[in-house]
Structure 1
Amino acid sequence: MANIELIDIKKNYGPVPAVKGINLVVADGEMIVLVGPSGCGKSTLLRMIAGLESITSGHLKIGGRDVSRVEPAERDIAMVFQNYALYPHMSVRQNLEYGLKNRGFQRDDIARRVTDAAAILEIEPYLERRPRQLSGGQRQRVAMGRAIVRNPAAFLFDEPLSNLDAKLRVQMRVEIRKLQKRLGTTSLYVTHDQLEAMTLADRLVVMNGGRIEQIGTPIDVYERPETLFVAGFIGSPPMNLVDLDKIGGAVTWPGLPPNTDVVGIRPDAFSLTQNTANSVPLTGMIELIEPIGGESHLHIVIEGSSQTVIAAHAGRSPLSEGETATWHVNPADLHCFNKSSGQRTD
């Protein structure tokens, strides 16, 4: 195992910058998740660490060794792809053995590593099957097994669950996290799914436009987003971002920090009862109600404006579509931003 250090890493495709100066240290044994929308540069960054993309400038160190220009096979990392990357004509056992044989491992060592990996991933019954005879989840376990048998310094995961159905994604997400904790291997995981990112990461790296917007633990990033982008990206449903210029005097706010022109409110911060003496009252008409099992999402048009916010209510909504009501928000639950800079102001 080893740490990974990225020092001002950049990637250009001709004149077009895809990754714009990334600085990041992944500690030994840490699980870092790179999250962001499609095209933000997260997969390109992962592929540069793997050696599958060249680095335009900057330095990459693994275990203190500069591997910026080192061939992929010499970087001591293993990558798990979203399309499994299994050899269809080989059995599961042969897929697990293949990389070890190419690296000249002894037969007894190969057998031991394959047996251990198969036991960890509970794929012993499938060792003689071909990939086409396996389910998506079983194939993904085999793909992870190919990484595990190498006992690499680091694992790289490139959206490994994106081809699975929703139920299996949840199951595999738990298995990957438990596996990473058990093995203690330094890991970088790329996803566009912010729920996946929140549940897997020791630390989140939120990317946008080839840059890092924020780094922190999942709960820190959720509770205190530093930019408008992070505020709107992390959370499901996302944070409501109320543009003060668009609502005029429709809502009376407490003393906001200077240069604040956007106020963020999480959907679960709305209450139909006044919970503090100085609660912010917000009156609006319920345009739509979405029942989501254990809670309801109420789409509310703020009175006196055209701006819509989403409030989360536990269980069934006590109100109906078309009704007007007043909700209250604790001032401590307000997130203040500046529209021009995109930065937090409080």
Structure 2
Amino acid sequence: MAAIELIDLKKNYGQVPAVKGVNLTVADGKMIVLVGPSGCGKSTLLRMIAGLESISSGHLHIAGTDVSTVEPAKRDIAMVFQNYALYPHMTVRQNLEYGLKNRRVARAEIDRRIAETAAILEIGPFLERRPRQLSGGQRQRVAMGRAIVRNPAAFLFDEPLSNLDAKLRVQMRVEIRRLQRRLKTTSLYVTHDQLEAMTLADRLVVMNGGRIEQIGTPVEVYQRPETIFVAGFIGSPPMNFVELKTNGTIAAEELTMSADADVIGIRPNAIRLGETTSPALRFKGKVELVETVGDENHIHLRLNDAKNELIVASIAGDQRLSDGETVSCFALADSLHLFNSATGRRVN
């Protein structure tokens, strides 16, 4: 096991910057998840750590050693890819032992590691099969097994579950987290799926435009997003944003607001129907659409204000509303998130 440290890491493609000075430490034995929209630089950053992309500037340390210019095979890391990257002409056993044979590991040690890994991943019955004879979930287990048998200093995961169906994604997500906790291997995981990120991470790294927007535990990032981008990206349905007004149907006169705040963020599950005497943001809206999602309803409301803004409220499934109905709503003051639109940053 080993800590990974990124020091002002940058990547340029010609004159185009893809990663813009990232500083990050992945503590020994922890699972860090990089999350962000497509094109934010997260996969490029992972490939730089793996040595599959060169580093334009900055430094990369693994276990205290600068490996910025060290070739991939000597970085003592293992990568699990989105497309499995298994050799189709080899059996599962041959895929697992391939890297070990290249490193001239003794036969007895190879057999021991494969038996141990097959037991952990429950792929023993498939060892003599070829990849085409396996399901998607089984192939991903083999891909993880190939990383585990190497006993590397760190694991790198590049959206490994994106090719699986929804049910398998949940199962494999649980498997990956269970394995990482059991093996205690330093791990860096890339995904664009925020649910995957929230459930897997010890610490979450939210990226946007080649930069880190926020680092924290999943709960910290969800409960106290530091920027408008993070607030809108983390959470489903995403956070609502409305311009701060001191009159009209968005009533904020009784609330204490920072002078720098001009945007209010409201989580859909913080919106309540009806009236309250507590300090709160109050508004009225017309129901445009009701989406029933399991035991809750997502209510799309058109606000009765000058800008005619649309927001989403998450309410209990037994609360019934009809399209076209006008409702009174509120969000308690302590549930509001205040931002400055010019800086994009939190101000409360």
Q: Whole-Å Cα distance in 1 between the matches of residues 177 and 37 of structure 2?
A: 22
Partner in structure 1 of residue 334 of structure 2: 332
Shift of 1:327: 1.1
In the alignment, does 2:19 pair up with 1:28?
no
Q: Whole-Å Cα distance in 1 between the matches of residues 300 and 194 of structure 2?
A: 22
Q: Is the 8 A contact 1:10 1:22 kept in 2?
A: yes
Partner in structure 2 of residue 318 of structure 1: 320
Partner in structure 2 of residue 122 of structure 1: 122
Q: Is the 8 A contact 1:276 1:330 kept in 2?
A: no
Shift of 1:319: 1.4
Shift of 1:244: 3.2
Shift of 1:314: 1.6
Deviation per residue, 1:171-201 (Å, 9 max, x gap)? 1111100110000000000000111100000
Q: Whole-Å Cα distance in 2 between the matches of residues 74 and 68 of structure 1?
A: 11
Deviation per residue, 1:282-331 (Å, 9 max, x gap)? 21111100011111100001112410110001214321111011112110
Q: Whole-Å Cα distance in 2 between the matches of residues 278 and 74 of structure 1?
A: 60
Partner in structure 2 of residue 13 of structure 1: 13
Secondary structure at the counterpart of residue 125 of structure 2: helix
Matches within 5 A, 1:173-322: 173-244=173-244, 249-253=248-252, 254-274=255-275, 277-305=278-306, 306-322=308-324
Q: Whole-Å Cα distance in 2 between the matches of residues 114 and 318 of structure 1?
A: 56
In the alignment, does 2:71 pair up with 1:64?
no
Gaps of 5+ in 1: none
Q: Give, as a single letter, the amino acid of the residue that structure 2 aligns with 1:251.
A: I
Number of residue pairs matched?
345
Pairwise CA RMSD of aligned residues? 1.2
Secondary structure at the counterpart of residue 225 of structure 2: coil
Q: Whole-Å Cα distance in 1 between the matches of residues 221 and 175 of structure 2?
A: 24
Q: Is the 8 A contact 1:37 1:208 kept in 2?
A: yes
Deviation per residue, 1:59-116 (Å, 9 max, x gap)? 0000000000000000000000000000000000000000000011000000000000
Shift of 1:255: 2.2
Q: Give, as a single letter, the amino acid of the residue that structure 2 aligns with 1:98.
A: Y
Q: Whole-Å Cα distance in 2 between the matches of residues 316 and 169 of structure 1?
A: 30
Secondary structure at the counterpart of residue 7 of structure 2: strand
Q: Is the 8 A contact 2:249 2:282 kept in 1?
A: no
- State TM-score, norm by structure 2: 0.97
Shift of 1:256: 1.4
Runs of 4+ aligned residues of structure 1 deviating over 6 Å after TM superposition are: none
Return closer, same or farther for 1:287/1:23 CA change in 2, 3 Å cut-off. Answer: same
Matches within 5 A, 1:148-159: 148-159=148-159
Return closer, same or farther for 1:27/1:275 CA change in 2, 3 Å cut-off. Answer: farther
Shift of 1:145: 0.1
Q: Whole-Å Cα distance in 1 between the matches of residues 276 and 96 of structure 2?
A: 58
- Structure 1 range deviating more: 82-91 or 309-318: 309-318
Partner in structure 2 of residue 54 of structure 1: 54
- Structure 1 range deviating more: 271-280 or 48-57: 271-280
Q: Give, as a single letter, the amino acid of the residue that structure 2 aligns with 1:18.
A: A
Q: Whole-Å Cα distance in 1 between the matches of residues 206 and 296 of structure 2?
A: 27
Secondary structure at the counterpart of residue 251 of structure 1: coil
Q: Is the 8 A contact 1:258 1:345 kept in 2?
A: no
Gaps of 5+ in 2: none
Partner in structure 1 of residue 145 of structure 2: 145
Partner in structure 1 of residue 87 of structure 2: 87
Partner in structure 2 of residue 166 of structure 1: 166
Shift of 1:275: 5.2
